[in-house]
Structure 1
């Protein structure tokens, strides 16, 4: 029954009060008929309810027991529950959860109980009835396409007796629903890993990205300690499930898409305040039919604490043992009801400022400067084509300059004051590098990049919920995030500068040697250390607004609709960037007729502004010359997203085994990108950077249907059997219409064994960045198997408007054990197999991979390479392309074991592991399996460890909680395309042979703890701290440009400490 719109405030309040009183009276009457019968009350369920607020604990009870829960009293979020783990009857679980509170429970309707204050008013039957306005605890299963609807527990004409509320007090009935498709990773049809807010606190991490990237199912991607590998989006934290690429992991916030915030079209989870997060659900396996495009590898759904009441916050500081990478962090969150409980508001903010780290030479393991050297004589000298050696120095450039030819001047270097001196060459001398010789500690490829970049971050979020009526609620979300980061790019590195005999800055002794040997021009190499590195500054700002309505239609049907707008403004500048067209003019310095030194070009064009530069020695140039040569490149990009969506869900029918939930929805989404760059970038005139203008738009129209069909319950052959499925039809403006679907089966032969399997067809269409992204250029180091020489070509990356959608076929199958008994209460184990086959995978393969595949005979990759007359690679185009196929196969293990409470405390163990059978890329040359590859060449395709494990033990005793965490990465291959002595088929005669193709494994241990200083009257104050990489393990050698290891897998910081204070009120 809907209240009339024209009723005045007094009449509306009276109507709501009367309607609520009738409903509660009806509920009390239903209890008299044993609405929650003895069978249900005595049914045993495995519960896993972590310590949290009482409101959260009741929500978890509802979802895990599939019993509706109604409560009242606005202070439930401020009360604490110790949680519950183990197999209990419903009655026992409720008794334990409410044992230390002033609440008791009473059945009110089929599958429904109410938790109400003890000693409250009682109806004619003697059962409790509400005496104050009830309040909503939370929405059920936010973000799940299918969930059991809120149940209208009594019709307006239901008979019964009971006590009404106090005079003038409006009463509103609110129910928290348990779902037929629950969210727990141990009961869902598809594997789900849940990371709760308490887990994030236990690890003492400052953002959700760091917590999630510890899970074996993720391949760590971009973070402040890996961002130096790319000038774009430095400081970002993105998520990559299965190692299939971050763009194939869909990130949701409260079940809704978040605005893309990176140049790859991915979401930077730095933008979500961790203090507001209730939990994060990680769905592994294809989920496009349920959630839409991009959910090929899975979904990360960040669920916020929408019912937060009170305040919470924390401050902390962390620093490495070496005194660098200092980070200040502060966060705050608060929430409160208003309008007599009909509305609720939450706000949160998070700020952090990290100093970053120095370059490779600040760590001894990196300063050794290992590298792979080409061995041109591998066919005769018995050594492989690539030889790993330490002490990599520049062979054709020095900070003061080096003459590279012709003879006999080759090998003369210039000291800091410009004095000529002999240059000592090392071994394996190549076009750029050598091992040993002069130049210790001054390799330009190691001095520029930072091991961790400085990042300043601000994230804010606010949400308001308002009950417009008993059946309709409105909500509004507003978020803002800003990330500013600074990275160091390449200083200039030249190997073939032309120096004329009449150069005004040329030392006279060198000029005389040129005259004596009739040499007109020298080939000169120089690393511009004194000219400074390029400074990359990123400013990334993201706004998001969501407005929506949700409510009930009666008969168990629920609906919601919303509009969402997102705006991401990204600006990148590259300071101290050389203007390429001016450099040869400035180098060509001569004497003017008046004896002054000028540019040769100024003799014929005195107004061109050219300033001559002296490159012989260090800091011998004038400031005017540097200012004329160097400037700032910039690029600005705006991504906008509009989303309109409507969802409807309910239980239209039931089978002999239970209700059949159904969800239906439609969505329209528009993503657009627009950007501009400076005029010099438009003609690729800078040394690095060179962004371009960009403009494009994609429209998406979608409709989906999802359901779950119970086939059996409590029979001789099955405790439960359920078939679930989903279908989605999607129309893209750029690539047409595609269909996705999913089928799943969940079978529980015993109440402690559950089998599950899914088969799905998933898609991902190219995003606006991949289609229309601006082309940019930078220098990249490569090893060319064709010439067996190193190279430093210009690498161009950008979008490709001809891309087609990628299509994935996914299988998952698994088993879940939740045994019970004296020894096994609190134990849960799941084992799941996954098989993802992705056709027409969209990717940028990297310059090294392009060169390698060309050398293997792939003509389509050779077309992306430009060579000079000596066959040296001078340019590589690395656009987004459709690769033939990408395949990932493996198995996930999850184990949780919580021991019963003991006098000496409580102990919990968690183990997460992933075994990767295959990570195969297939192109025109053939397949390459990178499973077991833990190294990564610069510009090459990364792999995954064959298996990884993350284990933790948590000890909880009174005010003290300690967590010991261990992470293991086994020994692996350096590169799957290379062959070392450890591999089958090795021969030094092979063009892809290497002296060692192994990367050592590593075990990392972290220790975190928290101690409650104050716990009184709803106020808690905790001291917390952590020691990361407590054993101070250095990473293994794994050759990578400027890092010396694979920073996506291995820790580069060493032992790091963090200490902080946390409060709740």
Structure 2
């Protein structure tokens, strides 16, 4: 196939404008190949069309389109479908298939490369999220078959798109709406089906490289694709090998990112403010923001009295100096503009793109022994190596470890006299007793000497906390297919996939050793009262200081390691950057690892055909498909023993080896062509589908079904309407995840400052729970909690409706327009309420007799709890966050897809394509106490109301010039409900900021393509020509901000050479 097309204009097409379909035989389910349609490496075919060929030129071979297993001769999809040619992935400077697809308005950038490092174990993943309903509700297929997952710590059901072979892609078909009746569980929002080249001949070599204008964020791609016929053309085998490399880059390398810009809270509204507003903006935008707490050398917060602190910064020589810059924000801990504070973006602290290397080998082959017996095979091996950093270095703040020993004492010999004096000056002299007038009674000992002091620090010398993951995917599909009875077909296949991930956790700190190492003393002072300059860990000479880590999830293992840790202890100097010795670094850093594995085995078989041999309806024969499927999946995950025991600064996850997931399914489809070629009924047909699935375990038996109607009053215009009931069964992670440690910064709903912000029942419920009067605890660091699975979960259910039209006017050749309305509601959504939701739901209910109050425990005693909790405080690690079937999701919108091509005389051939999505609703219903309360996501960051792409290409002789624009509409700064009313509720915080929206953004791309003697193609282009950055301080590395490009202007060039 010649690579003379440009951008998505010639690479994108819709089912409505599918002239290309007539020439394609590598179908989703039935892949019979005719000699006329065989793809070769030296084809002289013109550029791919975006509009249908004239009727007399259209081929009439049967084809199966994603969304159905029934063969059709009319090439039109009964469901909303967008298809993308494999050439689309040539036509950008990016090497990530997922990032290219995420440009489509129907897909949400939940896991683009720039924001994939947000969670443990996800750096470098590329996961698709159709309609923003979640990656676990988007079913990804390859040639119409399931593909093993690649996201062990996300949900263990989503396919990593990095495993798809780029140059072997024939096309990608995206179907909106529930498709469980056809494809099974998970197809809630729709299906993304990658259809591979099935009959390739020749040899193609391709190489491409790109680099940003700043000299970073480059990526490189090399590919070889070769195929050959054998057995007199009855068989074909093709092999594709690829290598892709993506460079990481960091905020510190860019002037636009190295200084933190963003919003700072400068005002709070009184409790009785109307609409949560006093007319003064709560947040203002500032540039060059510096932290007023954390710093790279360490921050000592000196108490000035009242509600005010003054930060002092440790210098490399161990002295303290005041933080400079303009203090902005609310006390007690304001931020600073400029000055000598830290930005959290120095060095490699903030990664904006993970490093990724991808190695891929794919084989596809088939041999036609007879028309009724065609064995086929698909096999792949893919390895990706990723290095992701979004966590920054290890830090501590006086309570990070959850241990009361996270304190420093003034007898620490690393503390300079100057710093010691400043610290002691800001501590008083109290004994814990008070006189008759309530004044503290001194005991002659400075509190800093007696009780210790805290300070806050990013420990940059210990390197960043990064995950180096090696992910390997193996997959083989073997089967037979064929035709019989003239117009019947069948397929039987076995599909096995295996995913293995080995992760090294870099920059991980052993917390038991950290607590021992920070308690440094002069050995002579402790033992004889006279300093001798020998600095040691206190635990090395004082048995009373030999304490196992209190926060360990496996205290027995921690105690067993204690003697070794004490014997090896190396004291650490944390007072100022650059003072940690190599020996201390080696002592603290923990060699941590994790290993995960996912397997999938699928047996599938189906028969499709029609009734033409027996009878026809007025519109033609009845089409049908019927089949069965068996699927078995396993997941396992384990960490090294020290990490799993909670001894390190990485989330402790116990070994995960749940029972296998198994399901047996039967399914069927029918298409009834009622009328054809009569006045006002050029076509009238109905379709239906069903599937019954029997799941092992509590999920049980569930059914999915759907139906639709198509009506074409004239040849130029066709209407389609569909309804589908889809399901998503709880996966192994939902069901069996063992309880593991996690952390969240929460507000206690029963604290005096929060008790009036909930329902009218909250005060009474807090009192009934035994919370003491006057209780006003405020969390300064995260609450430790346990999260895991729930074996009582049931399947999610969705109802989707689509209504659309396809317009192809004969008077305007090569023009096509599709308009489709979609409405998807997901009920019984499996979701884990977050820690804050559980706490609020417990006390905002009518009484304490609800499912949420049993998920945590408070300290009911008069004394301190096991980790120092005061009476009434929630006990650390007592809160359990588990998934429940209680939420609802709803999205609505309209998709527009228009394409047009024509010859411009002697100038050349012009083609245009526009895809636009108008989102009408995107609501989540997550309130446990008010199931009808909608939380609007539409117009929030990552969910624009308006989004479109327009592609144009002009081919003149050997040269093709392409241009693409991608538009993203404006989005609100914070929650939609802050600024606007919802369901009759007034805005919650109308003066949230001095502006309401992130501005709309348009990205412009250009490309030049030269064809040389039909064998070589050279191309070059520029993505993001105007060098647009994410707006208002965003970096593109967050959940919603991943919709924006953060690389900037990107130059690329490549070449394709074909032989044979």
TM-score over 0.5 for the pair = yes
Secondary structure of the structure 2 residue equivalent to 1:228 = coil
Give 1:914's aligned residue: 917
* Cα shift at 1:385: 5.3
Shift of 1:1038: 6.2
Q: 1:362 to 1:619 in 2, by over 3 A?
A: same
Whether contact under 8 Å (1:74, 1:337) holds in the other structure is no
Q: Could you say what secondary structure the match of 1:392 adopts?
A: strand
Aligned positions of 1:804-815 closer than 5 A: 804-815=794-805
Q: Give the one of 200, 208, 222 matched to 2:111.
A: 222
In structure 2, C-alpha distance between the alignment counterparts of 1:231 and 1:954, rounded to whole Å? 42
Deviation at 1:332, TM superposition (A): 1.5
Structure 2, gaps ≥5 residues long:
1-14, 399-405, 429-445, 525-531, 544-562, 755-777, 859-868
Distance 2:648 2:1013 in 1: 58
After superposition, the Cα gap between the structure-2 partners of 1:221 and 1:602, relative to the gap in structure 1 and judged at 3 Å, is same
Question: Is 1:1055 aligned to residue 1043 of structure 2?
Answer: no
Change over 3 Å in CA distance of 1:931–1:988 after alignment to 2: closer
SS of corresponding position for 1:236: coil
> How far has the Cα of 1:530 moved from its partner?
2.5
Which of 747, 752, 757 is the aligned partner of 2:716?
Answer: 752
Tell me the TM-score normalised to structure 2 length: 0.80
Aligned to 1:561: 492
Structure 2 counterpart of 1:412: 312
Quick one: which of 507, 519, 538 aligns to 2:416?
A: 507
**CA contact under 8 A between 1:454 and 1:485: conserved in structure 2?**
yes
The answer on whether the counterparts of 1:1028 and 1:1057 sit within 8 Å (CA) in structure 2 is: yes
Deviations 1:330-375 (A, max 9, x none): 0111111112222210111211111121126624156233144374
- Seen in structure 2, the aligned counterparts of structure 1 residues 413 and 201 have a Cα distance that, compared at 3 Å, is closer
Q: Kindly tell me the number of residue pairs found equivalent between the two proteins.
A: 923
Name the SS for the 2:327 alignment partner. Answer: coil
Aligned to 2:559: none
Matches within 5 A, 1:592-611: 592-593=523-524, 595-605=533-543, 608-611=567-570
| 2:83 and 2:171 in contact (8 A); partners too | yes
Between 1:978-987 and 1:552-561, the stretch displaced more is 978-987
Match of 1:617 in 2: 576
The alpha-carbon distance between structure 1 residues 434 and 238, as it changes in their structure 2 partners (threshold 3 A), is same
Alignment of 1:782-801 (within 5 A): 792-793=781-782, 798-801=788-791
Note closer, same or farther for the CA distance 1:807–1:541 as it changes in structure 2 (3 Å cut).
same
Q: Is the CA contact 1:360–1:451 (under 8 Å) kept in the aligned structure 2?
A: no
Task: Name the SS for the 1:259 alignment partner.
Answer: coil
Given the alignment of the two structures, is residue 393 of structure 1 paired with residue 357 of structure 2, yes or no? no
Give the aligned partner of residue 827 of structure 1.
815
- Does structure 2 conserve the Cα–Cα contact (< 8 Å) formed by 1:448 and 1:491? yes
Matches within 5 A, 1:272-287: 272-287=164-179
1:932–1:681 distance in 2 versus 1, CA, 3 Å: same
Q: 1:660 aligns with which of 622, 631, 637?
A: 622
Asked if 1 retains the 8 angstrom alpha-carbon contact of 2:249 and 2:351, the reply is yes
Q: Shift of residue 988 of structure 1?
A: 10
Deviation of 1:592 after TM superposition, in Å, equals 1.0
Structure 1: where are the runs of 5+ without partners? 1-44, 51-55, 95-110, 113-138, 149-178, 936-942
Does 1:839 find its partner at 2:834? no
For residue 522 of structure 1, give the secondary structure of its aligned residue in structure 2.
Answer: coil
Residues in 1 aligned to 2:893 and 2:323: alpha-carbon distance in whole angstroms: 53
Q: What is the CA–CA distance in structure 2 between the aligned matches of 1:929 and 1:847, rounded to whole Å?
A: 18
1:104-119 mapped onto 2 (5 Å cutoff): none
Q: Distance in 2 between matches of 1:1056 and 1:376?
A: 42
Partner residue in 2 for 1:1007: 1006
Could you tell me whether the CA contact under 8 Å between 2:206 and 2:222 is conserved in 1? yes
Give, in angstroms, the shift of residue 444 of structure 1. 6.4
> 607-616 or 853-862, which moves further after superposition?
853-862
Aligned residue in 1 for 2:236:
344
Aligned partner of residue 804 in structure 1, secondary structure = coil
Which residue of the partner structure matches residue 714 of structure 1? Answer: 677
Cα drift, residue 74 of structure 1? 7.5
Residue by residue, what CA displacement relative to the aligned partner does 1:532-564 show, whole Å, maximum 9, x if unpaired?
211211111110011111122324221110111
Once residues 1025 and 866 of structure 1 are traced to their aligned partners in structure 2, the CA distance between those partners, rounded to angstroms, is 62
Contact 2:537 2:571 in 1 (8 A): yes
Is the 2:40–2:202 Cα contact (8 Å) retained in structure 1?
Answer: no
What's 2:431 paired with? none
- Encode CA deviations 1:825-864: one digit per residue, 9 max, x unaligned: 1111111111111011123566687788789879877877
Q: TM-score, normalised by structure 1?
A: 0.80
Report deviation, 1:587: 1.1
Q: Does the 8 Å CA contact 1:493/1:525 hold for their aligned counterparts?
A: yes
Distance 1:231 1:649, change over 3 A: same
Aligned-residue offset at 1:806:
0.5
Deviates most, 350-359 or 724-733: 350-359
Aligned-partner Cα distance in 2 for 1:818–1:79: 29
- Structure 2 residue 1029 is the aligned partner of structure 1 residue 1034: yes
Paired residues of 2:887 and 2:925 also in contact (CA < 8 A): yes
User: Residue 637 of structure 2 contacts residue 655 of structure 2 at CA under 8 Å; is this kept in 1?
Assistant: yes
Partner of 1:933: 939
Q: Is the 8 A contact 1:807 1:839 kept in 2?
A: yes
Quick one: which of 74, 78, 82 aligns to 1:193?
82
Q: Which residue number in structure 2 is paired with residue 463 of structure 1?
A: 364
- Measure how far apart 1:513 and its partner are: 5.8
Match of 1:155 in 2: none
Confirm or deny: 8 A CA contact 1:484 1:538 kept in the other structure: yes
* C-alpha spacing 1:694/1:79, structure 2 compared with 1 (3 Å): same
Describe how 1:485-884 pairs up with structure 2 within 5 A.
485-488=386-389, 489-496=391-398, 497-512=406-421, 517=428, 518-519=446-447, 520=450, 521-593=452-524, 595-605=533-543, 608-652=567-611, 653-696=615-658, 697-734=660-697, 735-773=699-737, 792-793=781-782, 798-821=788-811, 824-844=812-832, 869=870, 879-884=882-887
Secondary structure at 2:918's aligned position in 1? strand
Distance 1:562 1:791, change over 3 A: farther
Residue among 259, 262, 269 paired with 2:148: 259
Deviation at 1:1049, TM superposition (A): 1.1
Deviates more, 1:891-900 or 1:202-211: 202-211
Q: Distance in 1 between the 2:1038 and 2:27 partners?
A: 51
**CA distance 1:345–1:902, shift in 2 (3 Å):** same
Q: Secondary structure at the match of 1:530?
A: helix
Identify if the C-alpha distance between structure 1 residues 663 and 86 changes in structure 2 by more than 3 Å, giving closer, same or farther: same
Q: Summarize the Cα distance change of 1:144–1:877 in structure 2 as closer, same or farther, 3 Å threshold.
A: same
**Residue 758 of structure 1: how far off its partner (Å):** 0.3
Report 1:158-177 matches (<5 A): none
Indicate conservation of the 8 Å contact 1:676/1:694, yes or no. Answer: yes
Q: Distance in 2 between matches of 1:820 and 1:850?
A: 60
Aligned residues of 2:26 and 2:196 also touching (Cα < 8 A): no
SS state at 1:364 partner = coil
Q: CA RMSD in A?
A: 3.6
1:39-54 alignment runs, 5 A limit: 48-50=18-20
2-side partners of 1:289 and 1:755: how far apart? Answer: 22
Aligned to 2:101: 212
Q: Is the 8 A contact 1:795 1:878 kept in 2?
A: yes
Question: What SS is found at the alignment partner of 2:578?
Answer: coil
The Cα shift of 1:931 comes to: 4.3
Q: Could you tell me whether the CA contact under 8 Å between 1:204 and 1:1024 is conserved in 2?
A: no
Counterpart of 1:141 in structure 2 is 64
For residues 561 and 336 of structure 1, what CA distance do their matches in structure 2 show?
A: 25
Q: Which residue of structure 1 aligns with residue 1019 of structure 2? A: 1024
Structure with greater strand share of residues: 1
Q: Indicate the SS of the match to 1:583.
A: helix
Measured in 2, the distance between the counterparts of 1:504 and 1:213 equals: 55
1:450 to 348, 351, 368: 351
Q: Is the 8 A contact 2:116 2:124 kept in 1?
A: yes
Judged with a 3 Å threshold, the aligned counterparts in structure 2 of structure 1 residues 61 and 988 are, in CA distance, closer, same or farther, namely: closer
Kept in 2, the 8 Å contact 1:285–1:812? The answer is: yes
SS at match of 2:1041: coil
Map of 1:152 onto structure 2: none
